[in-house]
Structure 1
């Protein structure tokens, strides 16, 4: 997914549509139950960290080197472990709705930072 997001095939309208759908789904599930503020902020931070690590991966000089491969593994583990830790912090009531919100806020944090970092500079 990250490779598609940073490629030329993912145009601005596609990114906008993906962002709108993600926010709409997150808001729908937030009507069922509210996610705590601390978990919301941590999931937003997780999305921002994923963008930071992926942008560092793109800047590595040799894409098939041992450093690059280990960095890809670190990127995958960061997201999976971060999301697993956040899921374990959820209360027992309506975990599915809160898990969808965690994932949605993680994606929203990623979208905000990646779109802002890759925007066209204005003069």
Structure 2
């Protein structure tokens, strides 16, 4: 997985509008996403943290996919969109790893706070 070995948008944005942490306690994934939003458009996003190959690769792919999309377009994304993007078969336990980024970003966009966190339990 190229996105695992060389993740895109890895790091932390300075002067981010929103910082949100997502955790998957079953796998040990803990990823922090920093977002910059302007006129309801996600202008920039970065992530950092530790996690399995699936959560890291999915986060890298997600950040590339959603950068410059509207908040509404991002909120419309669903689990199958992420799983299709990975182009590999992911079992039920690893699905939580794959969708951690999307769940975290959607919670960040729904939050009225500048910082927050979510634990993926679904």
Structure with higher Rg: it is: 1
Structure-2-length-normalised TM-score: 0.35
Instruction: Provide TM-score, normalisation by structure 1.
Output: 0.35
Instruction: Name the structure where strand makes up a greater proportion of residues.
Output: 2
| Structure possessing the higher relative contact order (Cα contacts under 8 Å, 6 or more residues apart) | 1
